[in-house]
Amino acid sequence: MRSEESISVCMATYNGERYVRRQLESILTQLGPDDEVVISDDSSTDKTVAIIKDFHDPRIRLYENNTFHSPIFNFENALTKATGDIIVLSDQDDVWLDNKVAVIREKFAARPHRFYLIALDGYVVDADEAVIGDSIFGRLNAGPGFFKNIFDNRYPGCCLAFSRELLSVALPFPKRIPMHDMWLGQLCELMGKTEFVPVKTIKYRKHGASLTDFRIRFMPWTQIKRRWFLAYHLLKRAMEWKGVKGER
């Protein structure tokens, strides 16, 4: 009989051969036999898939030959395959510190709401893992709040873990959301409880191909419209779900 909740680590890969082995090694050493790493690969043309298969680890579930051409819907595909009680998002090029899974289990053992999402802090490192920033949260001025996060996202996917119940509301993703992490974080703001945990659990690798941008820049009109689109669909999805379930 399983004594603790299972974890699904969801990763979206695309041409990640340079760092994916290091990241998977840092993850797998922390997982138990009932946990899994669900990887959706978006038609990588390098050795990413071969490196993943080389692990020969039954906890890795690889879905290849996808043609999403989008990190948002590549992640969505991984999420649809996840079976765990706790869902953890992972970039292909970071490094998990040895405490990450332990901190997640501790927080979820005392979860305050069935819809629960946490963001965990981390170091910012360069391509060679030299520390260039001592806090992701500090770089982002991170913290909860629907209006705080609707234009400047402080829910970086590499920091997130959430209860499986959130997927019942979050999936499928609307077609034009700015990013999957914004959608998940903000939806949990409306549905349950989010928490920013000031414990460093990853090395976020900042390099030329990384997606997270710590700069807050002037937002053109097209981006503003996408944020309003996001806000509309967040409120619509939350209201629809609560209406169907009769929740208050």
Mean pLDDT estimate for the chain: 92
Could you tell me how far CA 77 lies from the centroid of its own chain? 13
Homologous superfamily assigned to 7-245: Spore Coat Polysaccharide Biosynthesis Protein SpsA; Chain A (3.90.550.10)
pLDDT (tens digit per residue) in 164-201: 999 999 999 998 898 999 999 999 999 999 999 999 99
- Residues pairing with 124 in the sheet: 133, 204
Confidence of residue 228 (pLDDT cuts 50, 70, 90): confident
The answer to whether 52 and 115 have CB atoms below 8 angstroms apart is no
pTM of the model: 0.91
Residue 163 in this model has a pLDDT that exceeds 60: yes
Q: Which helix (H) or strand (E) holds 64?
A: none
- Helix (H, G, I), strand (E, B), or coil: what is residue 49? helix
DSSP run (H or E) holding 95: strand 95-96
**β-strands 116-125, 131-133: how paired?**
antiparallel
SS3 125: strand
Q: At residue 192, what is the residue type?
A: G
In this structure, are residues 238 and 187 in contact, taking their beta carbons and an 8 Å threshold?
Answer: yes
81-131, pLDDT tens digit by residue?
999 999 999 999 999 999 999 999 999 999 999 999 999 999 999 999 999
Residue 169 is encoded by which pair of tokens? 């509301």
Residue 204, both tokens:
């976020």
Reduced to 3 states (helix: H, G, I; strand: E, B; else coil), residue 48 is helix
223 or 181, which is more confident?
181
Residue range 51-62: average pLDDT?
Answer: 98
Pick from 169, 149, 182, 180: which is nearest to 237 by CA? Answer: 169
**pLDDT higher than 60, residue 217:** no
- Dist. CA 141–CA 30, nearest whole Å: 29
